[in-house]
Amino acid sequence: MRLVLLGPPGAGKGTQAQILVKAYDIPQLSTGDMLRAAIAAKTPLGLEAKAIVDRGDLVSDDIVSGIISERMDQPDCAKGFILDGFPRTIAQAEALTHMLDRKGLHLDAVIEIKADPDVLVERIINRAKESGGARADDNEDVLRKRLDVYTQQTAPLVNFYAERGLLKSVDGMAAIEEVTAAIKAAIDKS
């Protein structure tokens, strides 16, 4: 099964992805995690991405499309995967369509986790406190920037996938287990 999780920062994509990994036995491919690992390891990609990620902007479509395409070729992705944080722009969505076509694959569903922006600011500020500032981009100014970037560049993907008959929307403001149940119900119908 090949899924995309779509939703603003703090909507719970990562939390739900981890639950779905166990439920469906397929890996989570998180571009955010991959970029943070590259930054921590100070690889050439990490050095290039650090300033961009820290200020809440998007790294280039070509870079993230390339890392995702390579990751999909790993053996653990043979049964499917959950994309978390990719695609984030229309150009990335088009790149994804082409890379899946080339590999002879297709998406089963795109799950939009809907969330109220005001609640998200609170959630992420709390996440930052709990994690002791583990993420340099989890502060209020950068978060507002990430929410703006989401509205401008990523939200258009909702229509993009609705037009292609792939979109399933769930309420991300419900309790974690309820969101999971709604996602599973949507997947079973797809």
Which of 52-72 are b and which e, b meaning 16 or more Cβ less than 10 Å from the residue's Cβ?
ebeebebbebebbbebbbebb
Minimal distance in Å, beta carbon 171 to ligand ADP?
18
**Residue 88 falls in the annotated catalytic set:** yes
Provide the token pair at 68. 């995702």
Q: Which stretch of DSSP H or E encloses residue 115?
A: none
> Which of 2, 9, 50, 96 is the binder for ligand ADP (CB under 6 A)?
9
> Which of 5, 88, 110, 170 is the binder for ligand ADP (CB under 6 A)?
88
**Residue 123 falls in the annotated catalytic set:** no
Query: Of 60-79, which residues contact ligand ADP (CB under 6 A)?
Result: 64
Q: How far apart are CA 184 and CA 167, in angstroms?
A: 14
Contact (Cβ atoms closer than 8 angstroms) between residue 143 and residue 54: no
Minimal distance in Å, beta carbon 62 to ligand ADP?
10
Binding residue count for ligand ADP, defined by CB under 6 A: 18
Q: How far apart are CA 141 and CA 137, in angstroms?
A: 9
Which residues form the interface with ligand ADP (CB under 6 A)? 9, 13, 31-32, 35, 52-53, 56-59, 64, 85-86, 88, 92, 137, 146
User: Which of the residues are catalytic?
Assistant: 13, 88, 127, 135, 146
